Amino acid sequence: MTAVRFLVNGAPVEVDVPGMRRLLDVLREDLGLTGAKEGCGEGECGACTVILDGEVVDSCLVPICQVEGRIVRTVEGLARRTGDGPVLDELQQAFLEAGGAQCGICTPGMLMAARQYLDAGGGPDDVAIRTAIAGNLCRCTGYTKIVEAIAQAASVHP
Ligand code: FES
Ligand code: FES
């Protein structure tokens, strides 16, 4: 077992688990953060996407021993807490308005890939958005509404 300390959505956490346990399993099973989904388990689908130190990663491929001292962001951290309750991140709002989520399996990963794209200064450019979410597969939407949603959010906060 290995004690691993890191930040999740701004909060310090510590887990005592086998060092090769996947970050995805630590998030979902040890920390109860079930937003990141398991699709392929092989780094192909992006359903498990989180942001690790400002980089988009497939959490199914990251052993927890590599997360010591690092900063993890998951979909649970997107909405802002206010005195009047949580307020959706502009991307979540845009997905809602544009119909960017259908079955929802890909949505947490899409949102995190899109969040990192916007945080890195990405704009409402169709090709750039499609490149940013190229590692995230969606079987439902045909991608058009997802791209529209990300472009909408990028336009609100260019
Ligand atoms: Fe991680 Fe598919 S579950 S990439
Ligand atoms: Fe179903 Fe994307 S909304 S896989």
Ligand 2 contacts CB of residue 141 (under 6 A): yes
Q: Which pLDDT does position 78 carry in this prediction?
A: 97
Where are the strands (E) in 60-144, listed by range?
A: 71-73, 80-82, 85-87
Q: Is the pTM of this model over 0.75?
A: yes
Q: What is the pLDDT of residues 39-65, one digit of tens each?
A: 999 999 999 999 999 999 999 999 999
Pocket test for ligand 2, best of 110, 136, 138, 145 (most atoms within 8 A of CB): 138
- Residues 120-127: what's their mean pLDDT? 97
Residue (of 100, 114, 103, 30) closest to 64 by Cα position: 30
